[in-house]
Amino acid sequence: MRRILHISDVHFGPPHLPEVAAGVLRLVEDRQPDFVALSGDLTQRAKPHQFREARSWVDSIQVPTVTVPGNHDVPLYRFWERFLQPYGAYRRNFAADLEPVYRDDELLAVGVNTAYGWTFTGGRIRLSRLLELAELVAAAPKHLFKVVIAHHHVIPPPNFGTQRVLINAYEAVDLFSEAGVDLVLSGHHHQAYIGSSEEFYPKGRAPVVILHSGTTTSSRGRGGERDKNSCNWIEVEEQSMVVSHLRWHPELRRFAEHSRHLYPRQRRDPYTLEGLPVDGSATVPPAAESAD
């Protein structure tokens, strides 16, 4: 069994809510997840001191963490920095690795940077990176539960009909599905929602569950989560996965379950990614350096 706490959009800076952030630490202490996935937008304006505050807070989480950058972690107004070193402040003040990997004997979690280059708000996954990711996942032992963590969304939120999805979202979901990804964790929209690859891009395959967290510790909630804070609790069993949306209750000063979703664990046939070995013996290539 594996237990994951998924948080997102903590936005250190003016919108950050320290009391809720303290509540996240208590939640981790109480529930002891195997790891915490933090799907980007650590800061509000990618300022060094905001990254340092985020780093300090993440360091106080007493379990492993897997963090990817979001669009707010690239400078918006510092144009030269944005152009020449968009991830410089992130790397210097938070973490050198933009795409960390977590693995144990039951689970593989892979971070992917979608706050690509000097993009303003939309995200993108490069096709070459997608193929590397798919290869990495497909080469892992079949019994592992496979998670991809990305800031931007591959499916739109239910009440934002005109919102565009991540560039190459369709290709991403197609490859994730083919490679055997079980779960995609994202943020960015500041509201929680859940769907599957087969609802949005039907291919007649085992569905990939696509899960979004609202903003966990900022005042920037949107849609149905305006002025609200949320995160996700995931329990992976041998036969099933249970996802709970958790909401912050200011009067209780804690997160509590808001909804619960049950999915069967999929038993996929051996993958058939073109050109890839199918015996799990592939040598995983190092992640390509993201442009910065």
Collapse the DSSP code of 131 into the 3-class scheme (helix H, G, I; strand E, B; otherwise coil) and give the result: helix
Q: Kindly tell me which of 71 and 196 has the beta carbon lying closer to Fe ion.
A: 71
**Smallest separation (angstroms) from Fe ion to the CB of 141:** 33
* Token duo for residue 128: 């070459």
When the beta carbons of 42 and 241 are compared against Fe ion, the nearer one is: 42
The least distance separating Fe ion from the CB of residue 46, rounded to whole angstroms, comes to 12
Nearer to Fe ion, 219 or 266 (CB): 219
Q: Which helix (H) or strand (E) holds 28?
A: helix 18-31
* Of the candidates 218, 197, 220, 185, the residue with the CA atom closest to the CA atom of residue 266: 197
Least Å distance, CB 9 to Fe ion, is 4
Beta carbon nearer to Fe ion, 41 or 225: 41
Rounded-to-integer distance, Cα 110 and Cα 226, Å:
30
- Residue nearer to Fe ion on the CB measure, 71 or 216: 71
- Smallest distance from Fe ion to CB 123, Å: 8
Q: Which residues contact 99 (CB under 8 A, 6 or more apart)?
A: 68, 110, 111, 112, 113, 287, 290
Say if residues 156 and 112 touch (Cβ distance below 8 Å): no
Helix (H) or strand (E) run with residue 82 in it: helix 79-84
- In whole angstroms, how close is the CB of 40 to Fe ion at the nearest point? 6
Rule CB under 5 A: which residues touch Fe ion? 9, 41, 70-71, 188
